[in-house]
Amino acid sequence: MNCFWKNFRLYSAHILMYERVQMELNKHFLTCTLLVPLLNNMMRDVVLWSRKKLSMLVLLVATAIWVVMEVYEFNFITIASWVGMFLVTSIFLWGNLLRLFNKEPPNLSGLEIREEAAVEMAHLVKSWIEEGIRWMFRVGAEGDLFTFGGTLAALWVASKVGCFFDLLTLLYIGIMMGMTLPAIYVKYEDKIKGCGERLRMQCNKFYGMIDDKVISKIKNNVVVEKEEKIE
């Protein structure tokens, strides 16, 4: 009888342990599954100013970094060292104050990066890179004049702008545009789409006119010359 109860308690302990492990695995899976959508939702809220305080914080931090490094000409390594010293000193004082008042140290388990989360982020970056490569091949292979011309024009403008600004200033301008243009587009989406559609129609009409008056004549002349040579 005692042996039966021992086996029963051992079996119950194994079941409880299995349930705890299963709950922990489910928790990690949900964390990895929800991490990327949460990050995407946060980025969308910041860009579209749905969370105004966080959006304003991003603008203030970006502006402060640009002013310190461009206007006051501080080096990045110097700023990073100062920030590191401030963080280390703050954590050191905080830990000593907790020990002085006999309080428990903070739980740092939440600061760990799970392996599943790191793998999920790596797959996300990989998908972004692959999508960019596929987009470049689509622009060059599909033959859409509007997309091809717009891409070349954007790259040409970027090359000209790069002659007058350094990388940090361009990043700051990109952040400012990223924080303003999407919100403006969402607010005036119908008008912008209408203008874009009219511009596309005009470009296609212009391309068709050039094709009829120039390219078609060149093709016809080439065909006639080949037929004359054959005769």
pLDDT tens digit sequence for 101-119: 888 776 666 667 777 777 8
When pLDDT is averaged across residues 28-46 and rounded to a whole number, the result is 59
Closest CA to 175 of 72, 75, 65, 83: 65
What tokens appear for 66 in the block? 């640009």
Q: How far apart are CA 94 and CA 201, in angstroms?
A: 64
- CB contact at 8 A, 95 and 105: yes
How does residue 224 score in pLDDT terms, banded at 50, 70 and 90?
low
Question: Helices marked H in 48-166 — which ranges?
Answer: 52-66, 76-100, 115-141, 145-162
Cβ contacts of 221 within 8 Å, gap of 6 or more: none
Would you state the pLDDT for residue 81? 92
C-alpha to C-alpha distance for 22 and 2, rounded to whole angstroms? 30
The pair of structure tokens assigned to 176 is: 């400012």
For the segment 138-164, the average pLDDT, to the nearest whole number, is 77
Residue 220: predicted pLDDT: 67
**Position 69 pLDDT exceeds 60:** yes
Q: What local confidence, expressed as pLDDT, does residue 139 receive?
A: 72
Residue 143's pLDDT is 59
How many whole angstroms separate alpha carbon 182 and alpha carbon 174?
12
Whole-structure pTM value = 0.54
The contacts of residue 208 (CB under 8 Å, 6+ apart) are none
Token output for 221? 């002349």
Give the pLDDT of residue 116.
Answer: 77
In this prediction, residue 32 carries a pLDDT of 45
* Domain positions in the chain: 1-48, 53-102
Averaged pLDDT for residues 186-201: 83
Does 177 score more than 60 pLDDT? Answer: yes
How many whole angstroms separate alpha carbon 199 and alpha carbon 204?
9
What's the confidence (pLDDT) of residue 31? 46
Q: How confident is the model at residue 89 (pLDDT cuts 50, 70, 90)?
A: very high
